[in-house]
């Protein structure tokens, strides 16, 4: 079963959107496998956003993500990587459709509420950066045999 890394960014945490975002993934039917409120170190931020290191916004991006706590999660489910990206909406909230997380709650691109892995390779890499293997719980929902 596929897993993805989802993170509520500092703006989402401070705007009290953790519950709303968790609820969207829960209601969609995905399974929460790990979650923690945490500070992101400079080294972790630079590694996580390594693909953007030559972009003009890299400094701002790392500065923002390390500025205050984030809420990091692992979600599991069929096709969760791609579907989570659709649930998030476009990177720039101004272009994100209403009904998506960024479309409903974001205003500007640098503070776009949520991060989600963009491919199976980045999901594996990002989960490994933020979580130890023992943080990721293995369980079956009893409800799967009830309904
Ligand atoms: P995404 O987060 O949708 O995967 P990305 O990987 O292209 O988008 O960029 C990573 C983050 O960098 C993005 O969520 C917000 C920030 N960012 C992207 N483009 C930016 C820009 N032009 N100015 C400022 N921040 C930007
Ligand atoms: Mg990205």
Ligand 1 center to residue 143 CA distance, Å? Answer: 38
Question: Ligand 1 atom closest to Cα of 88?
Answer: 3
Question: Is there a domain that residue 45 lies in?
Answer: yes
| Nearest residue by C-alpha to atom 8 in ligand 1 | 91
CA dihedral 90, 82, 50, 67 (to 10 degrees): 60
d(CA 115, CA 72): 9
Residue 146 lies in a domain: no
The CATH number of the domain holding residue 106 is: 3.30.70.141
Tell me whether residue 145 is in a domain: no
Predicted local distance difference test score (pLDDT) of residue 140: 85
Residue 145's alpha-carbon distances to 33, 48, 68, in angstroms, are 19, 38, 41
Q: Which residues approach ligand 1 with their CB closer than 6 A?
A: 52, 57, 61, 91, 109-110, 112, 115, 118
CA distance linking residue 3 with residue 71, whole number of Å:
17
* Residues contacting residue 116 through CB under 8 Å, at least 6 positions apart: 4, 5, 6, 7, 81, 84, 85, 88
- Structural domain of 87: 3-140
* pLDDT tens column, 36-64: 999 999 999 999 999 999 999 999 999 99
pLDDT digits (tens, 9 = 90+) for 84-105: 999 999 999 999 999 999 999 9
Q: What is the ipTM of this complex?
A: 0.98
Q: Residue 147 domain-assigned? A: no
* Count of structural domains, the chain: 1
β-partners of residue 70 are 38
Q: Which residues form the catalytic set?
A: 115
In this prediction, residue 101 carries a pLDDT of: 98
- Tell me the chain's radius of gyration from C-alpha atoms: 15
| The pLDDT of residue 89 | 98
CA 69, CA 16: separation in Å to the nearest integer? 12
Separation of CA 132 and ligand 2 centre (Å):
22
Would 54 be classed as within a structural domain? yes
pTM of the predicted model, to two decimals? 0.96
Q: Do the domain assignments include residue 134?
A: yes
Which residues have C-beta within 8 Å of that of residue 64, sequence separation ≥ 6? 9, 10, 110, 111
Q: Is residue 39 part of a domain?
A: yes
d(CA 63, CA 2): 31
């Amino acid at each position: 079963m596929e897993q993805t890394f989802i993170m509520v960014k500092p703006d989402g945490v401070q705007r009290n959107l953790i519950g709303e975002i968790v609820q969207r993934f829960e209601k969609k039917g995905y399974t929460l496998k790990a979650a923690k409120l945490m500070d992101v170190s400079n080294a972790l931020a630079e590694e996580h956003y390594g693909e953007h290191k030559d972009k003009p916004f890299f400094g701002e991006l790392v500065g923002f993500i390390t500025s205050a706590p984030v809420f990091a999660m692992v979600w599991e489910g069929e096709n969760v990587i791609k579907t989570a990206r659709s649930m998030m909406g476009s990177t720039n909230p101004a272009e994100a459709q209403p009904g998506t997380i960024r479309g409903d709650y974001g205003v500007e691109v640098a503070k776009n509420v949520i991060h989600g892995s963009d491919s199976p390779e980045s999901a594996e890499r990002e989960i490994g950066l933020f979580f130890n293997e023992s943080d990721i719980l293995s369980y079956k929902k009893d409800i799967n045999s009830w309904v």
